[in-house]
């Protein structure tokens, strides 16, 4: 055991608080009884010289796919980190089989068996009962409970084992949106439910292909938000992200079900099985994260819950590989100049620096398409230096009369409302031309919704009539 503790000391690189906790624990008493002793795993320091993710073999061509690690060294995680996760899990669940531990921590069963045997030798866990498939039910000893308590004082997290920061960085570069090119056909498919001219489609295609930045500006009601939310669909594929990341001894949760949509992954080769995938990673749709007036500077930094010790990745990190939409830009709680100062370097260099709870900084990729959507004039919001870093500016202008008519007819048919071209002529002449009101892309949808409510209320067939149009216009355009 003295040799084991000595070997443990060589694992410490100054960045692992879990090692510091384990090193303070009392030395377990005496050797184990001969009948329960197992071979002590090699406790030599893990080699972390290759900052890569095991992601390729002959079956995967050029795809990024995280393959299950064959050792903790390959997983880039230390014995003390695994020990901390297992002890906190058992502290909360009382007992668990090796398979249940592997399922919770998302590491291969064989690696968890080895870790649990090691912990049993150190008198942290005991076998409570046998379980199928050469497994056991494990529970904590008094020493195990004490060490679990100490680990929990640092961080209460006991979910999926974290992926190392450099593995995450490599994965972002391998799946960068700038490696993809959206064709005109891809764009038409992504925006098939919107009415967009060829000119704006061309501009959007160039901006998306650049993977840099985009300003959507113009009057409200013309679909800027709708366009921004559909941009990522043009890429048409998913990406792998880690559920959690380990950086300088701190755990940062990246996967966020409220912003990320999990997908089922289809192996490119039938011989690749689900068991060969590193379950610490999850396959998601390329993210589209939309934030509006609620955005604050705190959302752009790692936030650490003081009660749990767990960090939460900022929005720009969660949007890597996809799109981050700043909707209603200029109406946030912070001034546009604050965002300018925060992002002027990341927008140019494509990386960001984030502060950890310890006060140390880490460098992470800034690899997403940033879209600023605003009803205001961009030049009134930010200076020339910022505008230079957003290379594409697209004016989402009002529809032409023909586009308005086409959209009105298409929506009426899709909503099951009887269409009448003469009534549409009446709408355009009486409620737009005569009043000097501008056409907006949102008006057909909103007016037809009012028409449907009007007809339903009066128990009439859904149809656009002069009476229904006048009622809808009176309700909708009041005070506008």
Domains 2-45+78-161 and 401-477 share a fold: no
Show me where the domains of the chain are located: 2-45+78-161, 170-395, 401-477
Cβ-based neighbours of 152, under 8 Å, separated by 6 or more = 88, 91
Residues 164 and 77 sit within 8 Å (Cβ to Cβ): yes
> Can you tell me the distance from the alpha carbon of 321 to that of 324, in angstroms, rounded to the nearest whole number?
10
pLDDT for the residue 311: 95
Cβ-based neighbours of 178, under 8 Å, separated by 6 or more = 210, 211, 367
Nearest-CA neighbor of 22 among 34, 12, 36, 33?
12
Q: Indicate whether this model's pTM tops 0.75.
A: yes
pLDDT for the residue 303: 94
Nearest-CA neighbor of 354 among 385, 320, 322?
320
Fold for 2-45+78-161, please state it.
Arc Repressor Mutant, subunit A (1.10.10)
18-21 long-range contacts, CB within 8 A, separation 24+:
18/78, 18/80, 18/81, 18/83, 18/84, 18/151, 18/154, 18/249, 19/78, 19/80, 21/80, 21/84, 21/147, 21/150, 21/151, 21/154
- Output the DSSP codes for 292-311: -TT--GGGGS-EE-TTT--E
Task: List, for residues 38-65, the tens digit of each pLDDT value.
Answer: 333 333 333 333 344 555 444 444 688 9
Fold for 401-477, please state it.
Helicase, Ruva Protein; domain 3 (1.10.8)
Task: List, for the chain, all residue ranges whose pLDDT scores fall below the cut of 70.
Answer: 1-62
Give how far the C-alpha of residue 417 lies from the chain's centroid of Cα atoms, to the nearest Å. 39
Nearest-CA neighbor of 354 among 299, 308, 292?
299
Task: List, for residues 288-308, the tens digit of each pLDDT value.
Answer: 999 988 899 999 999 999 899
DSSP-assigned letter for residue 289: E
Residues 231 and 371 sit within 8 Å (Cβ to Cβ): yes
pLDDT for the residue 387: 83
pLDDT for the residue 201: 87
> Can you tell me the distance from the alpha carbon of 263 to that of 283, in angstroms, rounded to the nearest whole number?
6
Task: List, for residues 258-283, the tens digit of each pLDDT value.
Answer: 999 999 888 777 778 888 899 999 99
Neighbour tally for 132: CB within 10 Å: 7
Secondary-structure breakdown of the chain: helix, strand, coil percentages, each rounded to the nearest 5: 45, 15, 40
CATH of domain 170-395: 3.40.50.300
> Can you tell me the distance from the alpha carbon of 464 to that of 419, in angstroms, rounded to the nearest whole number?
6
Nearest-CA neighbor of 106 among 11, 242, 262, 240?
242
pLDDT for the residue 5: 35
pLDDT for the residue 33: 37
> Can you tell me the distance from the alpha carbon of 100 to that of 175, in angstroms, rounded to the nearest whole number?
32
Cβ-based neighbours of 468, under 8 Å, separated by 6 or more = 451, 454, 455
């Amino acid at each position: 055991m003295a040799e084991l503790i000595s070997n443990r000391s060589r694992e410490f690189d100054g960045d692992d608080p879990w090692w510091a906790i384990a090193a303070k624990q009392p030395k377990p008493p005496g050797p184990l009884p001969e009948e329960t002793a197992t071979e002590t795993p090699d406790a030599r320091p893990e080699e972390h010289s290759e900052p890569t993710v095991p992601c390729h073999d002959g079956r995967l061509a050029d795809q990024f796919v995280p393959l299950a690690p064959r050792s903790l060294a390959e997983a880039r995680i230390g014995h003390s980190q695994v020990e901390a996760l297992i002890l906190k899990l058992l502290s909360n669940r009382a007992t668990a089989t090796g398979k249940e531990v592997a399922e919770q921590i998302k590491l291969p069963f064989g690696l968890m068996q080895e870790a649990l045997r090691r912990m049993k030798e150190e008198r942290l866990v005991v076998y409570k009962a046998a379980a199928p498939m050469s497994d056991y039910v494990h529970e904590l000893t008094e020493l195990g409970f004490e060490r679990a308590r100490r680990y929990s004082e640092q961080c209460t997290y006991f979910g999926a084992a974290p992926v190392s920061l450099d593995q995450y960085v490599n994965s972002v570069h391998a799946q960068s949106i700038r490696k993809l090119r959206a064709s005109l056909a891809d764009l038409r498919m992504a925006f098939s439910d919107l009415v967009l001219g060829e000119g704006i489609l061309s501009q959007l295609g160039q901006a998306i292909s650049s993977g840099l930045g985009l300003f959507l500006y113009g009057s409200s009601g013309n679909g800027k938000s709708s366009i921004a939310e559909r941009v990522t669909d043009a890429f048409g594929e998913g990406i792998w992200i880690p559920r959690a990341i380990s950086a300088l001894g701190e755990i940062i949760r990246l996967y966020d079900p409220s912003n990320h949509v999990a997908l089922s992954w289809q192996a490119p080769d039938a011989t690749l099985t689900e068991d060969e995938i590193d379950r610490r990673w999850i396959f998601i749709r390329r993210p589209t994260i939309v934030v509006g007036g609620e955005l604050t500077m705190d959302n752009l930094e790692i936030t650490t819950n003081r009660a749990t010790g767990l960090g939460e990745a900022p929005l720009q990190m969660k949007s890597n590989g996809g799109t981050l939409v700043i909707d209603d830009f200029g109406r946030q709680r912070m001034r546009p100049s604050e965002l300018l100062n925060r992002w002027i370097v990341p927008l140019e260099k494509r990386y960001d620096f984030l502060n950890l709870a310890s006060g140390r900084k880490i460098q992470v990729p800034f690899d997403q398409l940033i879209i600023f959507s605003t009803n205001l004039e961009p030049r009134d919001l930010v200076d020339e230096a910022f505008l230079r870093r957003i290379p594409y500016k697209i004016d989402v202008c009002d529809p032409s009369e023909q586009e308005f008519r086409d959209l009105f007819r298409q929506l009426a048919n899709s909503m099951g409302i009887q269409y009448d071209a003469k009534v549409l002529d009446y709408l355009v002449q009486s409620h737009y031309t005569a009043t000097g009101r501008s056409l907006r892309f949102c008006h057909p949808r909103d007016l037809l919704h009012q028409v449907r409510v009007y007809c339903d209320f009066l128990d009439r067939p859904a149809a656009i009539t002069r009476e229904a149009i006048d009622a809808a216009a009176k309700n909708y355009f009041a005070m506008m």
